[in-house]
Amino acid sequence: MCSSPVVLTIAGFDPSGGAGTIADVSTIVRLGCRPAAAITSLTFQNESAVFGAIHETAKSLRAQVVPIVEELPVAAVKIGMLPTAELVSEVVAMIRENRLLCPVLDPVLKSSSGYELMESDALEMLRRDLLPLVRIITPNVPEAAALTGVEIFDERGMREAATRLRELGAPAVLIKGGHLKPESGVGSQEPGATEAIDVLAEDGALTVFRGEWINAQPVRGTGCMLSSAIAAGLAKGNSLPEAVAAAKQFVTAEIRIRTGSGSDRIM
């Protein structure tokens, strides 16, 4: 038997270690849970760019997951990169079979360097079939815009997109505002503003998390860390707001370490 809650990550493999399953596993361990991992895609990348990928099949993904969930008491799962409709469909099937509990979905649509990581038919299937089955979805601003068609320039747009995702069937939504640069003055933000904003929507309620913006280069993998940390919190039995708040604190601390700053940003 496992003395620590088991968290399974289903995501792409980043050989550089900055994101994907390596970042997930590191986060899960540091938060006191036991990690397990299944790979959806072997990517070819480093800190600068993604150069290509070889995707798993539905059969090979199931072959990875089933032995894990049959042996270990998996308490929560983080779902990351699902590049093909075949893989989205397989994850949907495994959730419906009750093999995957408390799914935290971090939709990975493209890399920070612009490489497309999800096919268009996979995105549509995710929106239609997977979204209503997860515990929470954690898109950043570009991902939320792609999923909803809502143009997001400010907090109002984030709120609108969160509401739209709930209308599409998501039980809960956390939109990460790290891509909104307050110093640029876009939307209703004032030039020189220092707030970073994240919006949580659940059960008809909206919670806005506010933190100090850090004007530095983005830290790779923070979206992976955040979603994995939320899954770890849920595996420990925390409520969703508690899991989100603790995950934000964890990622904030990591950003401070990597940037040498006392400021707060979630990407």
Q: What would the mean pLDDT of 125-153 be, rounded to a whole number?
A: 96
pTM, two decimal places: 0.91
pLDDT band at 125 (very low <50, low <70, confident <90, very high): very high
User: Quick one: pLDDT at residue 216?
Assistant: 62
**Tokens found for residue 267:** 């990407």
Task: Find which of 182-191, 233-242, 258-267 is predicted with most confidence, using mean pLDDT.
Answer: 233-242
Q: List, in order, residues 6 or more apart from 62 with CB less than 8 Å away.
A: 90, 94
> What's the pLDDT tens digit per position in 157-178?
999 999 999 999 999 999 998 7
Is 229 within 8 Å of 250 (Cβ atoms)? yes
Please tell me the class of the 6-259 domain: alpha beta
Q: What would the mean pLDDT of 75-90 be, rounded to a whole number?
A: 98
Q: What would the mean pLDDT of 85-97 be, rounded to a whole number?
A: 98
Sheet bearing 6-13, strands edge to edge:
50-55, 34-45, 6-13, 74-79, 103-105, 136-137, 172-176, 195-202, 205-212
